[in-house]
Structure 1
C-alpha cells in the first residue's frame, strides 16, 4: 500500500488530520487498533475552546456541534460555599462549547466515510519503521492479512499507550512527568444540569466539578484517591458528596440515575521532541494534561492543525520550514497549557500532608484575588477559552 501520510490512531486527532489533509488534496490512510464503535462511544473530554470550534466550522464538520453543542460564556469558581463567575466573553470576546469528544469523533468519521477516506479499524501488530529515511512505512494486520503501508510521512496520533512515541530512541526522547496524589471519580447521570455554567468547587472535603453533556445528561467529578475502588462509591455517597462540595446558598443540585462511573488518575506528561525524522507526534502520544483545564482534546486539535498546514506547505512549495519548526512551535503551546492546567489543579484541589492548611490558605488568597482583580480574571479567562493561534 502507498499513501502520502500514514496516520496511526483513529481518534479525534487522527481523523481530523486526515480530513484537513483531504481538504487540501493530500492523501492519507488512518490506522486504529480499536473498533469504530469503541472509539465513538468512549466518554472523554467535553469542552471545546474557541479555536477548536472555529477550526471545525472552517473544515465543514461543525454543523452538528453548532446545533447540539452548548455554548458557554463563562465559568463558576467556588471556594466552600462562595461562588464567583468568570465572564469569558466579556473579558476576551471568546467562548467555549460543551460538546463531547465522542460526538466530534462521530462527525469526523461520518465525513471521512462520505469523502471516501481510508480508515482501518481493529488493526493489530502495528509497527513503524524507517522514519529517518524518505520512505518510512507502517506494518500492520487487518482482517487476518498482513500489510505494509509506505508513506512520505507518519503521524503518531495513537495516544499515550501507542507505539509511535516509543519509536523515538531513548537517547533522543526526553520525558517530563508529574503524577498527582489524587484522582477524579467521573460520573455520568441522566439528569439536566443544575447550573448554566460549569462549576469548579474547592471544598474541605476535596474538589468537585459540575459539567453537562446535554439538556438531559450531566457530568460530575469528585476528587478521590487515584486507586479508589468503585465499590466504595455507591450512588448515595456520590450524591451526598456532590451536595456537600457544590453546595451554595440558594442553589439546589438536581439528582438522577447514574449511568456511568470511573476513576481517572491525574498526571502531566510531555515527550520531547514531537518530531523524529519523518515521524510527527500529535495529541496524547506526546502530552497528557490534568483534565482540570479542559485542554487535552483542544491541544490535540492545535497539534494537527499545525501539522496539516506544514505538510500541505511542503507539497505545495517544497518548503520544509513548517515541518522543521513543528516540534518547537507545538511545545511552546504545550507548556503554556501544562502550566495553566497545573495552576487550575493547584487552586481547586485538596492537598494533604503537613502543609495542607498552609496550601488551603494560599488557595483562599488566590480566590480572593480573582474576586477583586480584573487582570487576574482575564488571565484565567484567556487561558481557558484558548490562546489565539500563533
Structure 2
C-alpha cells in the first residue's frame, strides 16, 4: 500500500489528524493496534479548549459536541474552607467545554467512512522503518499476514507506549521527565455533579477534584500514594473521603452512587525533543505527558495536530518545506508552556510527602494571593482556557 501520510494510532489525535488531512485532499491511512471497542472503552479527559472545539467545527463534526457539551465560564480552587472562582469568561472572553474524550473519539470514528478516512484496526507488530530519510515505510501484521505501507511522512499519534517515539535514535532525542509521588484515584458514576463547574481542592488530607462528563454523569478524583490499591477503596469509603476533601460547601451537594469505573492513574510530566526526526512527526502523548491537573493532555495533542496538519498540507499542496522544518520548535513552544502550567497547578494543589511547614505556608499564601489578585486570576484563566496556537 502507498500513501502520502501513514498515521500510527487511532485515538483522538490520530483520527483528528487524518480527518484534517483528508479534508485538504491529502492521502493518508491510520493504523491502530487495538479494536474500535477497545479504543472507545478508554476513560479519558473531558475539558476541551477552544483549539480542540474549533478543529471539530472546522471539520463539521461538532453537531453532538454543540448539543451535548457543557460550556463552562469558570472553575474553582478550594483551600478547605472556601471556593476561589476563576471566571475565565470574564477574564479572557473565552470558555471551555466539558465533553468526554470518548465522545469526541466516537464522533471522529463514526465519520471516517463518509469522509474517506481509512483506518486499519487490530494492526499488530507495527514497526517504523527508514524514518530518517524521504521514503519511510511501516510494516504491520493483521490476521497473520504481514503488510507494508510506503509513505512520504509518518505521524506518530500512538501514545506514550507506542513504537513511534522509539523509532527516533537515542543519540537524537532527549527526554525531560518528572514523576510524581502519587496517583489519582478516580470514580465515574451516573450521578449529577456536585457543582456546575470543576472544583480543584487542596485539603490537609490531600487533593480532590470534582468534575463531570454530563449533567448526569460525574467524575471525581483524590490523590493517593502510588502503592495504594483500588481494592482498598470501596465506593462508600471513596465518597466519604471526597466529601471531606472537597469541603462542606461541595459536600452538601454530592450525590452518591455505584461506580461505573474506578482506577488509579500515576502522574507524570514528560517531554521528548525533538518532535520531528526526518520524515517522522510526533503528536500528543507520543511526545509529551502532562499531569491531568491542568486539563491539557487532549488539548495539547490537538494543538500538535493543528501544527502537523498545517505543515503536511503545505508540503503536499505547495511544496512548502518550511513548516515541516519548523514543526518541532513550533509545537514544543506551546508544549513547554502547557507543561509549566500543569506542573505549577499540580504543585499548588497537592501535598508532597517531602514538604514541610514552609512549603505548606507557601501554598496557603499563593491561594490567598490568587483569591484577591485579578492579575493572578487572569494568568491562570489564560492558561486554563488555552494559549493561542
Specify if TM > 0.5. Answer: yes
Q: Match for residue 258 of structure 1?
A: 259
Is 249-258 or 292-301 further displaced after alignment? 249-258
Whole-angstrom CA distance in 2 between matches of 1:227 and 1:261: 16
Whole-angstrom CA distance in 1 between matches of 2:239 and 2:81: 17
Whole-angstrom CA distance in 2 between matches of 1:22 and 1:239: 46
Q: Match for residue 224 of structure 1?
A: 224
Q: Match for residue 133 of structure 1?
A: 133
Q: Match for residue 270 of structure 1?
A: 271
Contact 1:83 1:248 in 2 (8 A): no
Whole-angstrom CA distance in 1 between matches of 2:92 and 2:227: 39
2:347 is equivalent to residue 360 of structure 1: no
Whole-angstrom CA distance in 1 between matches of 2:264 and 2:356: 23
Deviation, structure 1 residue 183: 0.7
Unaligned runs of 5+ in 1: none
Contact 2:49 2:386 in 1 (8 A): yes
Contact 2:22 2:116 in 1 (8 A): no
2:8 is equivalent to residue 8 of structure 1: yes
Whole-angstrom CA distance in 1 between matches of 2:102 and 2:87: 27
Q: Match for residue 237 of structure 2?
A: 237
Contact 1:351 1:359 in 2 (8 A): no
Deviation, structure 1 residue 143: 2.1
Deviation, structure 1 residue 364: 0.7
- Within 5 A, what are the aligned runs for 1:14-163? 14-163=14-163
Q: Match for residue 317 of structure 1?
A: 318
Deviation, structure 1 residue 114: 1.6
Deviation, structure 1 residue 70: 0.7
TM-score relative to the length of structure 2: 0.98
Deviation, structure 1 residue 34: 0.8
Deviation, structure 1 residue 88: 0.5
Deviations 1:139-163 (CA, angstroms, capped at 9, x unpaired): 0011222111000100000100000
Unaligned runs of 5+ in 2: none
Whole-angstrom CA distance in 1 between matches of 2:66 and 2:119: 26
3-state SS in 1 of match to 2:38: helix
3-state SS in 1 of match to 2:10: coil
Is 15-24 or 115-124 further displaced after alignment? 115-124
Is 310-319 or 325-334 further displaced after alignment? 310-319
Deviation, structure 1 residue 56: 1.0
TM-score relative to the length of structure 1: 0.98
Q: Match for residue 342 of structure 1?
A: 343
Contact 2:9 2:157 in 1 (8 A): yes
3-state SS in 1 of match to 2:192: coil
Q: Match for residue 283 of structure 2?
A: 282
2:374 is equivalent to residue 374 of structure 1: yes
Deviations 1:355-390 (CA, angstroms, capped at 9, x unpaired): 33221111111111111110000000000000112x
Whole-angstrom CA distance in 1 between matches of 2:309 and 2:227: 38
Q: Match for residue 170 of structure 1?
A: 170
Contact 1:274 1:327 in 2 (8 A): yes
After the TM superposition, list the runs of 4 or more consecutive aligned residues in structure 1 that deviate by more than 6 angstroms. none
Q: How many residues align?
A: 388
Deviations 1:292-318 (CA, angstroms, capped at 9, x unpaired): 000000000000111001111111211
Is 243-252 or 139-148 further displaced after alignment? 243-252
Whole-angstrom CA distance in 2 between matches of 1:172 and 1:238: 45
3-state SS in 2 of match to 1:259: strand
3-state SS in 1 of match to 2:107: helix
> Over aligned residues, Cα RMSD in angstroms?
1.0
Contact 1:75 1:86 in 2 (8 A): yes
3-state SS in 1 of match to 2:388: coil
Whole-angstrom CA distance in 2 between matches of 1:141 and 1:183: 35
Whole-angstrom CA distance in 2 between matches of 1:249 and 1:136: 57
Whole-angstrom CA distance in 2 between matches of 1:241 and 1:286: 35
